[in-house]
Amino acid sequence: MATEVESIISETFATNPQSSFDSDKFLNLITTTAPDTTVDLPIPVGKPLEGYLFPDTYRFPSDATAEYVLHAILENFRTKVYEPHMQEIEQSPYTLYEIVTLASILERETKHSEDRPVVADVLLKRLDNGWALQTDATTLYYFGDWTHDITAADLEIDSPYNTRKYTGITPTPIANPGEETVRAVLFPQSNEYWYYISDADGNL
């Protein structure tokens, strides 16, 4: 979730008494509609920046502003995800935003990187055939709590993030996927499965 990113960055700057970083402004920039940015990325107008906040190790000067930090994160996404896979993205039936959204779901649905290309194929098959994605991660995002215990009543919630009730991709990403997860969506491992289940340790 975007608030998790803001919290991590804010805690980092909080250790420096000379920091002028405005955490409230940063949170507003990433959770409201996409702000003006000089980074060359096809971000849909009116969408928040969840999904594009690339997870990585960053080094920022102590006087870094919210705009500076956001620009650096988006530029990192562009150079490490968008540009290397531009050809595959352009050839995909899905937009970059949809690919990032699906990758964010995949990121939260799976714990182990080796499982992601397999699960990506399952999710893509469901999408391509008009099936509901049926993922727990999207329901947990709706509640804003990754530890929430999903009940039968939760599966009837009238929300586009309830992917058991509604078909298609969720309106926005639910997390910020790494390059490896985006690559799994672009290069899924073909298999015969339409369903998957994991144990408490995340093993399929």
Rounded-to-integer distance, Cα 163 and Cα 75, Å: 31
Q: Looking at residues 74-92, what average pLDDT do you find? A: 96
Average pLDDT of the chain is 89
Reported as a single tens digit per residue, the pLDDT across 166-187 is: 999 999 999 999 999 999 999 9
pLDDT value of position 204? 79
Q: How far apart are CA 135 and CA 124, in angstroms?
A: 13
Sequence spans of domains, the chain: 2-82, 95-186
pLDDT at 62 over 80: yes
- Do residues 103 and 188 make contact, with C-beta atoms less than 8 angstroms apart? no
Average pLDDT over residues 15-22: 70
Of 108, 106, 6, nearest to 49 by C-alpha is 6
- Which residue do the tokens 């008494």 mark? 17
d(CA 18, CA 79) in angstroms, rounded, equals 30
pLDDT at residue number 26: 86
Instruction: Judge whether residue 158 has pLDDT over 70.
Output: yes
**Helix ranges, 95-193 (H):** 96-109, 116-128, 136-143, 179-186
